[in-house]
Amino acid sequence: MKIGFIGAGNMGRAIIDGWLKQQAVTPADIYLHSAHAASYQPYAQANGLNACDTNLAVAQAADVIVLAVKPNIALDALKEVQSALTGKWVITMVSGLNLADYATVMLDLPVLRIMPNVNVAIGAGMTALVGNDALTTEQYAAGQRLFDAIGATSAVAEKDFPTFSALAGSSPAYIYFFIDAMARAGVKHGLSKDAATKIAAQATLGSAQNVLASDKIPFDLIDQVSSPGGTTVAGLLAMEEAGFMTAVVKGIDATIAKELGE
């Protein structure tokens, strides 16, 4: 399957990097064009991809088009390649546009809307998927396989995309923030920054893997590592007194509100 990227920004490249690292897609099957030639052409050359001179050339060469541009130009970009869309389908990662918006370009255009996060670059992403009525079962399955290859996928109703965005799209930054806070505490108590960061990151990774491997909810897992009257309980109580849980929930609330334009 030949895949064409209209737009080659950070998230588009993260997806491509993930596919190449996981050998899910061969470089020769990827075509791309961006308005920033000085950026996408060297990237394509360095990775053995096909750099196209126009969006139309991308659409003509590809079986599926990945729309990875800003919301304000997304529909215009599709209209530009409309003549080449017959018999093809679109994967869009454009935020702020609903599936119904794409019907203004072509009424029966099959569209798979996705929302990945940056961890797709290392094969550990989390991607939401939802298709329109024109998308076939086979096309949906093909899209799901592409993103399962670089992490995990979840079927998410379109109305829930803002919540997914907060929990999966923006959360890497929040988790980096948490790891940095842990590392700074380690530095405060004598560890080097590198050592403290590695310890905090590995502990976070292992804990996340434990949640995914367990049939228990996180609250139950907390109990497993918290002895009555012990050091962990003391730390948890101090965090709660400082408003840790409230801060996290408020952060998610603010992210969703911003996504909804509130």
Tell whether the model's pLDDT for residue 47 goes beyond 90. yes
Please report, for the domain that includes residue 179, its CATH number.
1.10.3730.10
Is residue 205 scored above 90 in pLDDT?
Answer: yes
Regarding whether 145 and 78 lie in a shared domain, the answer is yes
Same structural domain for residues 98 and 150? yes
By the 8 A CB rule, do 18 and 125 touch? yes
Asked if residues 40 and 66 have their Cβ atoms less than 8 Å apart, the reply is no
Judge whether 181 and 128 are in contact, CB under 8 Å.
no
Residue of 172, 31, 175, 183 whose CA lies nearest to 115: 172
pLDDT in tens, 76-88: 999 999 999 999 9
Report pLDDT for 218. Answer: 95
Q: Range of 191's domain?
A: 169-259
**194 and 224 share one domain:** yes
Q: Is residue 226 part of a domain?
A: yes
Question: Collapsing DSSP states into helix, strand and coil, what is residue 126?
Answer: strand
Taking the whole predicted model, whether its pTM rises above 0.85 is answered as: yes
Instruction: Report the Cα–Cα distance between both ends of the chain, in Å, rounded.
Output: 40
38 confidence band (pLDDT: 50, 70, 90) = confident
Least confident of 39-43, 58-62, 112-116, 154-158: 39-43
218 torsion bin: left (phi>0), alpha (psi -120 to 50), beta (else): alpha
pLDDT digits (tens, 9 = 90+) for 183-202: 999 999 999 999 999 999 99
